[in-house]
């Protein structure tokens, strides 16, 4: 086995000037600055090598300070742990003892370097000063993430959402918790409908595979997916002094294959449509077929029907065909009928699967009105305030809807009443009763006939009390209310 170790080495030149520089100093004072170059090297070692230690493994160089005094230094965990050393004059690197790969798979590119620079003049004696430069080395994305496992398989049921089906562990040699280390997963193929999704666990850097959209499969189906991984920060690498970027050829993102077997469950029968409107005339004779549902079942050809809700017990259902028939006359004025004159029932279709699957259909029966109610007085007793006016209004109601209700026509049912009273108005949603002349105070009984728009006629007797009224149109004396008069009320 080979273990890769990365080292960052710095050459430190020690400036030393000869007689030629001394001559130049006599003409002018000169401060000389010499460029240094960082030397980055990768060294490969074989673990547990049986050699004579210290063992030479590499030699560093610096082409920017040739011909001048300088020294080499290396830093990092390999040095502090006593595994490596360097000859500061020649740049030769030696390993001092054998290395266990399981303990040290690699030594790391240090994050901080301190460089001491010395500037020396040409005086006699020469004077010098030093400065310390701190270099903070920031890691970039020089390693692409790799999946630790290349294939995943599982089974799931259709029409269900799943979280955390798989976790895709990845390995990335970049600095943890940086954009060059954080994994970003993407679908290469197989997820054109957006049924699946992969999220990144920010702590473990794993990919979390989820099913986020329901889909109905008519048969058990195998879905094959290809998923890739890259980092948030684009990949870059320096090779032979050239910057190489991720281009899909030399450095293609790692990928895995995921196979999902979608199990086709027993789907329930499907009503077409799931809601139905039926129109029926109220009080129709029972026995007629009101509705026959249409049902489709992709998994079964045998199913039965049942009545789920029928609050007034007005209908029945055929278990085999689903035909709905009326069993009683339906009254639009029933408390089981809503304000829109609709009676609602619910039926179900149940297949023969194991376990059986069930679906529902809402059937709204719209009841059309018939003229089955006669006009009637809202109040059979009214008060006519003789000391204020000579007219009282007659409210009428009819439980039928248009065109079987008002406006109404009003008539006297006793010709003698026409001598003392007049109907004005005699047509409308309510009538008006007018006394033709002042009448003795007391109670008067007036038979009336009231007709709706279809001439359906109601007969009722209106009791009218004529009296002096207080502010709230109530009789001042209770005597008139207790007087029992016959006919038009003469002789009081």
For residue range 293-346, list pLDDT tens digits in order.
Answer: 999 887 777 889 999 999 999 999 999 999 999 999 998 889 999 998 999 999
Q: How wide is the angle at C-alpha 153 spanned by C-alphas 151 and 155, nearest 5°?
A: 170
Calpha distance 88→74 (Å, rounded): 9
Question: What's the distance, CA 461 to chain centroid?
Answer: 66
DSSP 239-257: ETTEEEE--SSSSPPPEEE
Calpha distance 323→185 (Å, rounded): 54
Q: How confident is the model at residue 154 (pLDDT cuts 50, 70, 90)?
A: very high
**Average pLDDT for 247-254:** 73
Calpha distance 474→108 (Å, rounded): 106
Calpha distance 80→272 (Å, rounded): 78
**Average pLDDT for 236-256:** 73
Q: How confident is the model at residue 59 (pLDDT cuts 50, 70, 90)?
A: confident
Whether the per-residue pLDDT at 60 is higher than 70: the answer is yes
**Average pLDDT for 147-160:** 92
Identify any residues that bridge with 428 across adjacent strands, giving them in sequence order. 408
Q: How confident is the model at residue 456 (pLDDT cuts 50, 70, 90)?
A: confident
C-alpha pair distances (Å), 450 with each of 428, 458, 460: 11, 5, 8
**Average pLDDT for 91-104:** 84
Whether the per-residue pLDDT at 185 is higher than 50: the answer is yes
Q: How wide is the angle at C-alpha 258 spanned by C-alphas 298 and 216, nearest 5°?
A: 15
The pLDDT value recorded for residue 409 is 92
Residue pair 116/100 in contact (Cβ under 8 Å)? The answer is no
For residue range 27-41, list pLDDT tens digits in order.
Answer: 444 334 444 444 545
Whether the per-residue pLDDT at 481 is higher than 60: the answer is no
Tokens encoding 235? 């990949």
Residue pair 373/455 in contact (Cβ under 8 Å)? The answer is no
Q: How confident is the model at residue 352 (pLDDT cuts 50, 70, 90)?
A: confident
Whether the per-residue pLDDT at 443 is higher than 90: the answer is yes
Calpha distance 208→195 (Å, rounded): 14
E strand segments, 140-274: 146-147, 151-157, 162-168, 170-171, 183-189, 196-200, 207-211, 221-231, 236-239, 242-245, 255-263, 270-271
Calpha distance 344→324 (Å, rounded): 13
Calpha distance 103→176 (Å, rounded): 19
Residue-averaged pLDDT of the chain: 82
The pLDDT value recorded for residue 108 is 63
Residue pair 251/234 in contact (Cβ under 8 Å)? The answer is no
Calpha distance 352→320 (Å, rounded): 13
- Nearest 5°: phi and psi at 22? -65, -40
Q: Cβ contacts of residue 318 below 8 Å, gap of 6+?
A: 305, 325
The pLDDT value recorded for residue 25 is 43
Q: How confident is the model at residue 470 (pLDDT cuts 50, 70, 90)?
A: confident
51 preceded by a cis bond (ω within 30 of 0):
no
**Average pLDDT for 403-422:** 89
Residue 91: name the closest of 138, 139, 43, 33 by CA. Answer: 43
Q: How wide is the angle at C-alpha 290 spanned by C-alphas 288 and 282, nearest 5°?
A: 80
Whether the per-residue pLDDT at 482 is higher than 90: the answer is no
**Average pLDDT for 251-261:** 91
Tokens encoding 218? 């008519």
Q: Cβ contacts of residue 30 below 8 Å, gap of 6+?
A: 21, 24, 121, 122
- Taken in order of first residue, the domains within the chain and their CATH numbers are 2-136 (no CATH), 146-263 (2.60.40.60), 270-368 (2.60.40.60), 376-482 (2.60.40.60)
Whether the per-residue pLDDT at 449 is higher than 60: the answer is yes
């Amino acid at each position: 086995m080979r273990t890769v170790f990365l080292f960052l080495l710095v050459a430190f030149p020690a400036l030393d000037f000869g007689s030629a520089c001394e001559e130049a100093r006599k003409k002018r004072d000169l401060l000389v600055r010499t460029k240094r170059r960082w030397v980055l090297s990768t060294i490969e070692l074989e673990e547990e090598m049986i050699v004579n230690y210290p063992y030479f493994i590499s030699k560093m160089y610096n082409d920017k300070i040739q011909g001048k005094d300088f020294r080499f230094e290396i830093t990092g965990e390999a040095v502090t742990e006593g595994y490596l050393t360097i000859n500061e004059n020649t740049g030769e690197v030696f390993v001092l003892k054998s290395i266990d790969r399981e303990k040290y798979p690699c030594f790391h590119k240090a994050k901080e370097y301190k460089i001491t620079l010395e500037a020396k003049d040409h005086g006699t004696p020469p004077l010098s000063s030093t400065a310390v430069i701190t270099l903070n080395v920031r890691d970039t994305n020089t390693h692409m993430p790799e999946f630790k496992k290349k294939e995943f398989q599982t089974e799931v049921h259709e029409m269900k959402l799943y979280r955390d089906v798989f976790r895709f562990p990845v390995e990335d040699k970049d600095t943890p918790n940086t954009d060059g280390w954080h994994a970003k997963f993407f679908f290469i193929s197989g997820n054109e409908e957006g049924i699946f999704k992969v999220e990144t666990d920010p702590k473990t850097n794993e990919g979390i595979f989820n099913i986020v959209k329901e889909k109905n499969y008519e048969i058990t189906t195998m879905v094959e997916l290809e998923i890739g991984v890259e980092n948030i920060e684009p990949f870059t690498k320096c090779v032979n002094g050239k910057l190489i970027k991720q281009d899909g050829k030399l450095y293609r993102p790692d990928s895995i294959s995921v196979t999902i077997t979608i199990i086709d469950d027993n789907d329930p029968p499907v009503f077409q449509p799931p809601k139905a409107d039926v129109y029926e005339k109220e009080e129709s004779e029972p026995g007629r077929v009101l509705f026959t549902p249409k049902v489709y079942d992709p998994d079964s050809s045998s199913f039965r029907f049942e009545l789920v809700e029928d609050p007034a017990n007005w209908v029945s259902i055929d278990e085999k065909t689903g035909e709905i028939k009326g069993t009683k006359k339906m009254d639009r004025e029933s408390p089981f009928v809503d304000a829109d004159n609709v009676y609602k029932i619910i039926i179900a279709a149940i297949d023969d699967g194991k376990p059986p699957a069930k679906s529902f259909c809402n059937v709204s029966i719209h009841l059309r009105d018939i003229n089955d109610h006669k006009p009637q007085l809202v109040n059979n007793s009214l008060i006519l305030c003789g000391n204020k006016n000579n007219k009282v209004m007659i409210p009428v109601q009819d439980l039928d809807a248009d065109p079987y209700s008002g406006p109404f026509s009003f008539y006297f049912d006793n010709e003698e009443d026409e001598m003392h009273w007049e109907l004005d108005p005699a047509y409308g949603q309510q009538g008006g009763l007018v006394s033709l002349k002042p009448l003795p105070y007391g109670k008067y009984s007036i038979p009336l006939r009231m007709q709706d728009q279809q001439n359906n006629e109601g007969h009722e007797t209106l009791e009218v009390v004529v009296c002096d009224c207080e502010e709230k149109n109530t009789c001042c004396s209770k005597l008139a209310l207790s007087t029992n008069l016959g006919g038009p009320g003469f002789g009081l």
